[in-house]
């Protein structure tokens, strides 16, 4: 995952310091990801994807899932989720973490 993050930073012509600033973390945290195997980036996956214009599928699996491959029900769930305020989105995320 970290290698893909670093690859996308380079491809998007951004810098690690830009991502750290966007996430509001010290640049040393990113060094821990790279050199010491820290997985603290997991709490920032959504924000990293937004910053790098990618998806969790790409970060974790190395390939994109296109919207066309989603079922009608999955697309509907995404639409409903996007209409929620941040508090309710967080509630959904916590529920999903609990269920998985």
pLDDT in tens, 15-69: 999 999 999 999 888 889 889 888 888 999 999 998 998 888 888 888 765 555 6
For residues 47 and 23, is the Cβ–Cβ distance under 8 A? Answer: yes
The CATH T-level fold of domain 2-61 is 434 Repressor (Amino-terminal Domain) (1.10.260)
Compute the average pLDDT of residues 73-95: 90
pLDDT value for 13: 92
pTM over 0.75: no
Please report, for residues 30, 52, 80, the alpha-carbon distance to residue 10 in angstroms, rounded to integers and kept in the order given: 14, 10, 34
Domain positions in the chain are 2-61, 67-99
């Amino acid at each position: 995952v970290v290698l893909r993050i670093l690859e996308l930073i380079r491809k998007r012509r951004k810098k690690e310091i830009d991502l750290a600033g966007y996430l509001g973390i010290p640049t040393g945290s990113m060094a821990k990801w790279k050199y010491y195997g820290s997985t603290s980036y997991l709490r920032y996956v959504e924000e990293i994807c937004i910053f790098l214009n990618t998806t969790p599928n790409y970060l974790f699996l190395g390939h994109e899932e296109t919207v066309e491959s989603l079922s009608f029900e999955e697309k509907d769930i995404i639409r409903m989720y996007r209409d929620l305020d941040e508090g309710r989105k967080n509630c959904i995320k916590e529920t999903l973490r609990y269920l998985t």
